[in-house]
Structure 1
Amino acid sequence: MKLNPISMDVFADAREEAHAVLARVMGGLAPGEHVMRLGVDMDGQERPLSATLPLTVEGSGTLDDLVGAEAKYLDNFAFLLACGLAQSLCYGVMYLRSPATEPEGPATVQAWHLAWGVLNECSAAQAAELVGDGAQAVFVDAPGVYSEDDCDSEAVYPPVAYTVL
């Protein structure tokens, strides 16, 4: 794969943004086993690159819940997301598969579309179109991953995050 040259400052900003995006998504997870997937296709690349991030949330749905991720998966996912955010000639999809809210119910899927260095939330219909092919899940509208405060705040994995060795 050959990436277009970018400055280290641009990549540092993209890496910080990737961690803020992950913090926002992780902070909104309910207890259970979740999986985030990311596919990024960059200009001149033969096949999309992909990353998977298994997440475990332990707790009762309060701010004291613990969000767990293995460091190697978290680092890989954040790096690929940062590459996608730093390169203007790329596109991709990030999606989150979460456990059912009811026993024996279907999983839920939310998706975000990556284009021109920005992640945009997808409606349920858009998520079904991007991810759908045979997925046994209910597609739901994704929340935004940016806030007006992002320029003034530091990325911290909320509520409490830890890595499993």
Structure 2
Amino acid sequence: MKLKPISMDVFADAREEAHTVLARVMGGLAPGEHVMRLGVDMEGQKRPLCATLPLTVEGTGTLDDLVGAESKYFDNFAFLLACGLAQTLSYGVMYLRSPATEPGGPVTVQAWHLAWGVLNECSAAEAAELVGDGAQAAFVDAPGVHCGDDGDGEAVYPPVAYTVL
């Protein structure tokens, strides 16, 4: 695969934004086992590039919760997301599958659509259309994840952001 050349400054900004996106998503997770998936199509490639990031949250649903991500998966996911954000001729889908909120209930799914270097949050209906794989899931509206989506220009990491599982 051959990508359009970009400056190191553009990639550095995209890498920083990818980490901000991941921090915002991770900071809002409830206790349990979560899985993020990302698929990115870039100009000139035959198949999408994919990454998976398993996340474990231990705690009681407070800011003191411990969010665990194995570094090799985190680094791979962050790199692919940065590439998608840096290459404006890329598109894809990032989604988060979280445990059921009620015993015996369906897992919940949120999705974001990657286009022109930006992740846009999807409504529950859009998420069902993009990700729906016939599995029993409750699709929910996704929050904004970029800097400034909530009027705050800075991501807030949980007090303990990463651990090696």
TM-score (norm 1): 0.95
Alignment partner, residue 163 of structure 1: 163
In 2, are the aligned partners of 1:38 and 1:52 still within 8 Å (CA)? yes
- Scaled by the length of structure 2, the TM-score of the pair is 0.95
Identity of aligned residues (%): 88
8 Å CA contact 1:56–1:68 kept in 2: the answer is: yes
Q: Structure 2 unaligned segments of length 5 or more: list them.
A: none
- Map 1:8-157; keep pairs closer than 5 Å: 8-146=8-146, 147=148, 148-150=151-153, 153=154, 155=155, 157=157
Which shows bigger deviation, 129-138 or 95-104?
A: 129-138
| Count of aligned positions | 162
Cα shift readout 1:5-42 (whole Å, capped 9, x = no counterpart): 00000000000000000000000000000000000000
Q: Distance in 2 between matches of 1:41 and 1:159?
A: 34
The runs of 5 or more residues in structure 1 that have no matched partner are none
- After superposition, what is the alpha-carbon deviation per residue over 1:131-152, rounded to whole angstroms, capped at 9, x for unaligned? 00212211000011022332xx
Deviations 1:42-84 (A, max 9, x none): 0111000000000000000011000000000000000000000
**Cα RMSD (Å):** 1.1
Residues 98, 108 of structure 1: 8 Å contact kept? yes
Letter in 1 for 2:152: D
